[in-house]
Amino acid sequence: METQRILITGATGYVGGSVLTAILSNPSLVKLSITALVRTQSQASTVSSLAITPLLFTNLDDTAFLTEIASTHDIVIHAANGYHIPSAQAFIRGLAQRKRQTGRDVHYIHNSGTSNFGDRPVSKAYIETNVFSDKDDIYSYEKMRERIEPYHQRTADVGVAS
């Protein structure tokens, strides 16, 4: 079987760096082929020193490039920006192409945050007391909240999950 290929964004940042560290420290994942999208030569040097293939890119708005590069990977971990909808959509389009071309399973992992669910007790603009569990239909809740008041990060989450 061909080696699985992972594409990661934000690899030199706080979240992406933590994800990358976890991957690299897991012995069962050492055979994965990992590419990191980076914006500077300094970042490229950093990831190269970890045996990660760096790929310089302009920015997340270059959606044609993002779609193209995602189409050559089986897994995309988008840890750079959880609320940049065009890049999320580009990665998903690329993974769909990969699936059509290879028949292999593809996976998209998207960075998000708890502010999607929070209320605003200080401003009293939105007060709602909820306790969520793993059994709750979080997606439906996010869609409901998004209909009430769009929020950039939640908009991205709902968009990539639909």
pLDDT for 17 beyond 90: yes
Domain boundaries, the chain: 5-110, 114-161
**Residue 122 pLDDT:** 65
**Residue 1 pLDDT:** 62
| Cα 2 from Cα 97, distance rounded (Å) | 17
pLDDT tens, 141-153? Answer: 889 888 888 888 8
The tally of CA atoms less than 13 A away on the side-chain side of residue 84 is 17
**Residue 124 pLDDT:** 65
Q: How far is CA 19 from CA 101, 109, 124, 133, 155, in A?
A: 28, 11, 35, 24, 23
pLDDT tens, 65-104? Answer: 999 999 999 999 999 988 899 999 999 999 999 999 999 9
Tell me, what amino acid is at 149? E
In this structure, how many other beta carbons lie within 10 angstroms of the beta carbon of residue 49?
9
Question: In sequence order, what are the residues at sequence separation of 6 or more whose Cβ sits closer than 8 angstroms to the Cβ of residue 108?
Answer: 75, 76, 78, 88, 91, 92, 95, 160
Instruction: Give 6's strand partners.
Output: 34, 75
Sheet holding 53-56, edge to edge: 53-56, 33-38, 5-9, 75-78, 107-110
Q: What is the dihedral of CA 81, 83, 87, 91, to 10 degrees?
A: 90
**Residue 96 pLDDT:** 98
The separation between CA 6 and the C-alpha centre of its own chain, rounded to angstroms, equals 12
| Cα 34 from Cα 72, distance rounded (Å) | 11
Query: For residue 24, which of 38, 3, 45, 6 has the smallest C-alpha distance?
Result: 6
Query: Thinking of the domain 5-110, which architecture would CATH place it in?
Result: 3-Layer(aba) Sandwich (3.40)
